[in-house]
Amino acid sequence: MTTITRFAPSPTGLLHVGNLRTALHNWLLAKKQDGKFLLRFDDTDRERSEEAFVEAAREDLAWLGIVPDREERQSERFALYEAAFDKLREAGRVYPCYETAQELELKRKVQLGRGLPPIYDRGALALSEDERATKEAQGIEPHWRFKLDHDEPIGWNDGIRGPVKFDPAQLSDPVIRRGDGSWLYMLPSAVDDIEMGVTDVLRGEDHVSNTAAQVQMFEAMGASAPRFAHKALLVGKEGKLSKRHGSLSARALRERGLEPEALLSLLARLGTSLPVEAIVRREVLVESFDLSTFGRAPAKFDEDELDRLNAQIVHRLPFAQVAERVPEGMDQAGWEAIRPNLTRVDEAGEWWAVVTGSVVQPTMDPEE
Ligand code: GLU
């Protein structure tokens, strides 16, 4: 069976290095197995999704040479989600809920106060037909939850974490649809993974409990779950990365004049037991990619390390590859002479001025 992986960003901000790392790892996993890599925009949230971020993500991936074999957008696939929802509803696996956000918050507080885990109490399932009708007559639009099956433990063999087990009774039934009819991420993602034939889902460990619920969604839709692997998150100097982390966006790094190979070299192996080194040939990254080398501790993104790798790559760049980017008049000999001094190609200008400019003799004391 052909390996199919996917990178599924929500276009609600610029991609940061953590997102790029996930894209890269999925791409490497696909390439290693002669498979396919999909780019899927999880843009069901029409208010927060922006076309500019779709464009930016495409550009960022292209800059890194991560070329998808297929691109899809969830906003064009609502009919599929609707159909899956109807079936699950008929099968009694989704149910309407009428609590307000404040009511839910209060329930959670009470549970925590009693030392209990804040799991949704399935209050909505206890409503009678009449009570439900009253709520609807009051104009309350229900939100919808997926009903987890509590009978069997949920388990999968994680490509990085090994065997993972969850007691479904310890999880809240996840909300899959809001009162206004809009979709949360969980169900559309599982529907698409089935329909697109995704064989491997490699994502951050912040998704582990989502996976537990999604494993049951795959089953409820009559499909077998893909292989899952959850990697430790990438953190910056100040901790968790977010789309608001401007300086670590792909865009900012590109504008700083870094070589894509430097970023690829760092992101491919950071958090694994493989050595982080400047690697220009992608095949090397592909061949050495191996989930069993992934560690469990968060990986730390260090910009100084990125600069070091960039310098090493620049020191090896042949003139033909930089000819367009170096100062006018610089030839191969000039490039080779100054190249060892550079961290980034755009510093060539300063050095070329030193080479071609006149030398001002400093005034010196005869004694000196
Ligand atoms: N859109 C989801 C996210 O950005 C995708 C997660 C996944 O890979 O399934 O978190």
**Cα of 169 from ligand 1 centre, angstroms:** 24
Residue 74's alpha-carbon distances to 54, 78, 189, 196, 286, in angstroms, are 12, 7, 9, 12, 29
Please report the pLDDT score of residue 1 as a whole number.
Answer: 87
For ligand 1, whether the C-beta of 189 sits within 6 Å is yes
pTM for this one? 0.93
Q: Is 185 in the pocket of ligand 1 (CB under 6 A)?
A: yes
If one counts every other C-beta atom within 10 angstroms of the C-beta of residue 269, the result is 20
Instruction: Give the model's pLDDT for residue 363.
Output: 87
Among residues of the chain, what percentage have pLDDT more than 70?
Answer: 98
In testing the pocket of ligand 1, which one of 27, 41, 72, 189 has its CB within 8 Å of the most ligand atoms?
Answer: 189
Closest ligand 1 atom to Cα of 9: 4
Q: What is the CA(206)–ligand 1 centre distance, in A?
A: 10
Cβ–ligand 1 distance for 203 under 6 Å, the answer yes
Q: Tens-of-pLDDT digits for all 368 residues of the chain?
A: 899 999 999 999 999 999 999 999 999 999 999 999 999 999 999 999 999 999 999 999 999 999 999 999 999 999 999 999 999 999 999 999 999 999 999 999 999 999 999 999 999 999 999 999 999 999 999 999 999 999 999 999 999 999 999 999 999 999 999 999 999 999 999 999 999 999 999 999 999 999 999 999 999 999 999 999 999 999 887 777 766 656 688 899 999 999 999 999 999 999 999 999 999 999 999 999 999 999 999 999 999 999 999 999 999 999 999 999 999 999 999 999 999 999 999 999 999 998 898 878 888 888 87
Bridge partners (DSSP) of residue 37 are 5
Give the pLDDT confidence score for residue 198 in this predicted structure.
98
The per-residue pLDDT for 366 is 86
Angle, alpha carbons 359-333-356 (nearest 5°): 20
Q: Does ligand 1 have an atom closer than 6 angstroms to the CB of 9?
A: yes
Q: How many whole angstroms from 9 Cα to the centroid of ligand 1? A: 6
CA neighbor of 316 nearest in space, from 346, 286, 342: 342
pLDDT score, position 101: 94
Ligand 1 center to 306 CA (angstroms): 26
User: How far is 290 from 13, CA to CA, in rounded Å?
Assistant: 30
CA of 22 to the centre of ligand 1 (A): 10
Q: What is the DSSP letter of 125?
A: G
Give residue 244's pLDDT. Answer: 60
pLDDT tens digits, 236-268: 877 777 666 566 888 999 999 999 999 999 999
Determine the distance separating the centroid of ligand 1 and the alpha carbon of 74, expressed in angstroms: 12
Q: Nearest residue CA, atom 10 of ligand 1?
A: 9
Q: Tokens representing 102? A: 């404040």
- Ligand 1 in reach of 10 Cβ (< 6 A): yes
Q: Which of 22, 25, 194, 203 for mutating ligand 1's site (highest number of atoms within 8 Å of CB)? A: 203
| Ligand 1, atom nearest to 203 Cα | 8
CB 8 within 8 A of CB 193: no
Say if strands 70-73 and 36-41 run parallel, antiparallel, or are unpaired. Answer: parallel
